[in-house]
Amino acid sequence: MSPKRIVLRFDATIADQPIIYRLVSDFGLVVNIIKANVNPQKEGTMVMEITGENNKQGLEYLRGQGVQVHTLTENIIRNEEQCTSCGACTAICPSGALYLTRPSMEVHFDSDQCVVCHLCTKICPVRAMEAHF
Amino acid sequence: MLKKPLLYSEEAFIIGAEHLFGGVLMAIEKSYAEINAKIKAGKAVVVTAEELISMVDEKGVEKTTEEVDVVTTGTFAPMCSSGVFLNLGHTTPKMKMHQVWLNNVPAYGGIAAVDAYLGATALPDNDPLNNNYPGEFKYGGGHVIEDLVARKPVRFRATGYGTDCYPRREIETNITLDEINEAILFNPRNAYQSYNCGVNLTSRTVYTYLGMLKPNLGNAHYSTSGQLSPLLKDPNFNTIGVGTRIFLGGGTGYVVWNGTQHFPEFLQIDSDGEQKGPAGGTLSVLGDLKQMKPEWLIGTSYLGYGATLSVGIGIPIPMLNEEVCRNAAVKDKDLYAPVIDYGEAYPNAKPGYMKLVSFAELKSGKIIVNGKEVPTAPLSSYPKAKKIAAQLKDWVAEGEFTLGEPSQLLPSADAGLKGKPLKG
Ligand code: SF4
Ligand code: SF4
């Protein structure tokens, strides 16, 4: 069975729960965490691959815990021509994929860090962030 | 022949105005005419406001004032009080355009027969607005302006009620910027001197003109280019006034008046009464849209708030004297923005601010508010502001852009202008 790539988003109240442990112990899933951005008292994001027969039930469990679960079938890209380097996305992007360098204040996009949460596609004032399937 | 006092003898001027004479330091004074003559001869020394800061650090104010003729500034940010006057030309038979739309966005037709004003925040009649909260506001007046400047055809529609001299009652056609008679960008309030830094103290996300503000001090947004920003570099309006020639949207424009809500003041910290830089000044600017470039006028949408136009403005500051130089060399660490809660205080018009933060702090990526570290982000593009200041510098240095001497300076903080609330 080929692994399923998923992205999890959760708020601060869930960040200290052993949800990944439960996926492994209760649902017998093989979990491979690709990247994680978890801080106590802050919203967290995680991208991982899961393999196992009970993956549907595992995902249901996560959703039941208030975790937003999306499968990673999309890619977010930045239209470089369109981006004005305004910076409006940089304190919104939860994974640090969109970030400023100082002192130039240029905005950069590291798609490897992106967890496809779609926040930037909605808040970018000039619609420079695009979702591609 | 009129006898001149010895101190001001011609000799003293020949020696050089900067020379010490009779124990009195003669101040450097340059006129617009002198500076313009140097610009036309291709000999003007032009630097950006960032470059001026390093020069003053290195050489001091006096030497820098002597050497530099013009300092250029820049800002690129959403500026809602913007729009364009259009003269569409007469149809056959003639028509008095009563209601007007461009790409379905309504323009104001309450002026002469074929004139209209398209505002940057105008929205199509069928826009879902905030009914589907937070609304997306994908296309509005600012986007139409961008499309016109990009030379894209724009769908034009108008209705009229018919008069004896203007019998036609409707028209629907495509127009382009080059086909219509005039398009004059006229922005009644742009280039805010300093602007609020918005935070959100409530427990729900708010969608504002300062972007999406996350609950419980999740982020802080500001929108000024700080040490490159035009009105922060001429805090007392010593040089900027009616007739100042500027970079506007990639073309040439003018300051035509103070902006609406022009209430210049100096921010202070209450306890020590120390001045914390200027705020509150604004500009009315005007220019020929046909000369402008889509790179510098960009239709902009704020989730949950509305559509607007991001405008690029650059203002040259003539180095008339040391005071002008000293003001133009002020750094991010000495320029401030008030932190305001957009969750509760701002919408309910509660006066005051939570604290003042410097642009150096804002640009560092975090500020401390109520004891909490809050990530900051700008809404105004510093890289674009830099590019504007550099472009304007080239124009002036190459002799293509001379200074417009203001026929009247704008009111400064001394005028004590204050906003009046609307009763009702
Ligand atoms: S909000 Fe959009 S335009 Fe601004 S920096 Fe981010 S991607 Fe670029
Ligand atoms: S979708 Fe946008 S906001 Fe979300 S992680 Fe990717 S880059 Fe950041």
The pick from A93, A118, A129 for probing ligand 2's pocket by mutation, whose C-beta has the most ligand atoms within 8 angstroms, reads A93
Per-residue pLDDT, B5: 40
Per-residue CA distances from B342 to B199, B204, B206, B375, B410 (Å): 6, 11, 8, 16, 30
Q: A-B interface: how many C-beta pairs under 8 angstroms?
A: 76
| Whole-number average pLDDT of chain B | 93
Quote ipTM for the complex: 0.89
Percent of chain B residues past pLDDT 70, beyond the cut? 93
d(CA B4, CA B17): 16
Bigger pLDDT: B16 or A19?
Answer: A19
Q: Flag whether pLDDT at B403 surpasses 60.
A: yes
d(CA A11, CA A68): 9
Per-residue pLDDT, B271: 66
Q: How many angstroms separate the first and last alpha carbons of chain A? A: 23
User: Could you tell me the two tokens for B389?
Assistant: 């200041």
Catalytic residue among B80, B165, B197, B325: B165
Q: Flag whether pLDDT at B142 surpasses 90.
A: yes
DSSP strand pairing (B265-268 vs B336-341): unpaired
Instruction: Using alpha carbons, select from A52, A51, A53, A50 the residue that is nearest to residue A67.
Output: A50
The pick from A80, A85, A111, A130 for probing ligand 1's pocket by mutation, whose C-beta has the most ligand atoms within 8 angstroms, reads A85
Question: B174-181: long-range contacts at Cβ-Cβ below 8 A with a sequence spacing of 24 or more?
Answer: B175/B88, B175/B102, B176/B148, B176/B151, B176/B152, B177/B148, B177/B149, B177/B151, B177/B289, B177/B290, B178/B151, B178/B290, B179/B89, B180/B86, B180/B87, B180/B88, B180/B89, B181/B87, B181/B88, B181/B89
HEC string of chain B?
CCCCCHHHCHHHHHHCCCCEECCEECCCCCCHHHHHHHHHCCCCCEEEHHHHHHHHHHHCHHHHHHHCCEEECCEEEECCECEEEEECCCCCCCECCCEEEECCEEEECCCCCCEEEEECCCCCCCCCCCCCCCCCCCCCHHHHHHHHHCCCCEEEEEECCCCCCCEECEEEEEECCCCCCEEEEEEEEECCCCCCEEECCCCCCEEECCEEECCCCCCEEECCCHHHCHHHCCCCCCCCEECCEEEECCEEEEEEEECCCCCCEEEECCCCCCEEEEECCCEEEEEEHHHCCHHHEEEEEECCCEEEEEEEEECEEECCCHHHHHHHCCCHHHCEEEEEECCCCCCCCCCCCCEEEEHHHHHHCEEEECCEEEEEEECCCHHHHHHHHHHHHHHHHCCCCCCCCCCEECCCHHHCCCCCCCCC
Q: Flag whether pLDDT at B15 surpasses 90.
A: no
Q: Report the 10 Å Cβ neighbour count for B218.
A: 18
Q: Report the 10 Å Cβ neighbour count for B276.
A: 18
Q: What is the pLDDT of residues A37-78, one digit of tens each?
A: 777 667 788 888 888 888 888 889 999 988 888 877 778 999
Whether the bond into A103 is cis, omega within 30 of 0? yes
Q: Does B372 touch chain A (CB under 8 A)?
A: no
d(CA B28, CA B16): 9
Q: Flag whether pLDDT at A79 surpasses 90.
A: yes
Per-residue pLDDT, B74: 98
Q: Which CATH architecture has domain A75-132?
A: 2-Layer Sandwich (3.30)
Say if CB B117 and CB B86 are below 8 A apart: yes
Q: Flag whether pLDDT at A120 surpasses 70.
A: yes
User: Could you tell me the two tokens for A77?
Assistant: 């890209």
By the 10 Å C-beta count (0-12 exposed, 13-18 middle, 19+ buried), B352 is classed as exposed
Are both A4-71 and A75-132 of the same fold? Answer: yes
Per-residue pLDDT, B66: 97
Task: Chain A: give the shortest CA distance to residue B212, in Å.
Answer: 7
Check if A79 has its Cβ closer than 6 Å to any atom of ligand 1: no
Instruction: Using alpha carbons, select from B225, B200, B417, B375 the residue that is nearest to residue B304.
Output: B200
Is residue B390 very low, low, confident or very high in pLDDT (cuts 50, 70, 90)?
very high
Q: Flag whether pLDDT at B418 surpasses 60.
A: yes
Residues in chain B: 424
Considering only CB atoms, B302 lies closest to which of A89, A100, A125, namely A125
Considering only CB atoms, A86 lies closest to which of B136, B376, B379, namely B379
Exposure on the CB side of residue B390, measured as CA atoms within 13 A: 6
Query: Residue A109 Cα, ligand 2 centroid: separation in angstroms?
Result: 9
By the 10 Å C-beta count (0-12 exposed, 13-18 middle, 19+ buried), B136 is classed as middle
Helix (H, G, I), strand (E, B) or coil at A92: coil
Percent of chain B residues past pLDDT 90, beyond the cut? 91
Instruction: Using alpha carbons, select from B401, B322, B181, B294 the residue that is nearest to residue A82.
Output: B294
Any catalytic annotation for residue B165? yes
Q: Flag whether pLDDT at B360 surpasses 50.
A: yes
Is residue B11 very low, low, confident or very high in pLDDT (cuts 50, 70, 90)?
very low
Q: What is the pLDDT of residues B241-284, one digit of tens each?
A: 999 999 999 999 999 999 999 999 998 865 667 788 899 999 99
DSSP strand pairing (A44-51 vs A30-37): antiparallel
Q: Flag whether pLDDT at A112 surpasses 90.
A: no
Is residue A130 very low, low, confident or very high in pLDDT (cuts 50, 70, 90)?
very high
Per-residue pLDDT, B14: 42
Per-residue pLDDT, B90: 97
Q: What is the pLDDT of residues B164-193, one digit of tens each?
A: 999 999 999 999 999 999 999 999 999 999
Chain B residues close to A127, C-beta within 8 Å: 138, 301
d(CA B389, CA A82): 21
- Domain range summary for chain A, segments of one domain joined by +: 4-71, 75-132
Per-residue pLDDT, A13: 78
Is residue B230 very low, low, confident or very high in pLDDT (cuts 50, 70, 90)?
very high
Q: Does A92 touch chain B (CB under 8 A)?
A: yes
d(CA B98, CA B95): 9
Mean pLDDT confidence for A26-42 = 82
Say if CB A55 and CB A4 are below 8 A apart: yes
Per-residue pLDDT, B13: 45
Q: Does B381 touch chain A (CB under 8 A)?
A: yes
Check if A47 has its Cβ closer than 6 Å to any atom of ligand 2: no
Per-residue pLDDT, B54: 97
At the topology level, CATH places domain A4-71 in Alpha-Beta Plaits (3.30.70)
Considering only CB atoms, B303 lies closest to which of A90, A122, A126, namely A122
Nearest CA in chain B to A119: B212
Task: Chain B: give the shortest CA distance to residue A20, in Å.
Answer: 26
Q: Flag whether pLDDT at B358 surpasses 80.
A: yes
Per-residue pLDDT, A9: 86
Residues in chain A: 133
**For ligand 1, atom 2: residue with the closest CA:** A124
Q: Does B194 touch chain A (CB under 8 A)?
A: no
Per-residue pLDDT, A122: 95
Instruction: Using alpha carbons, select from B229, B190, B247 the residue that is nearest to residue B401.
Output: B247
Q: Flag whether pLDDT at B349 surpasses 70.
A: yes
Our CA dihedral for B206, B211, B217, B222, rounded to 10 degrees, sits at -150
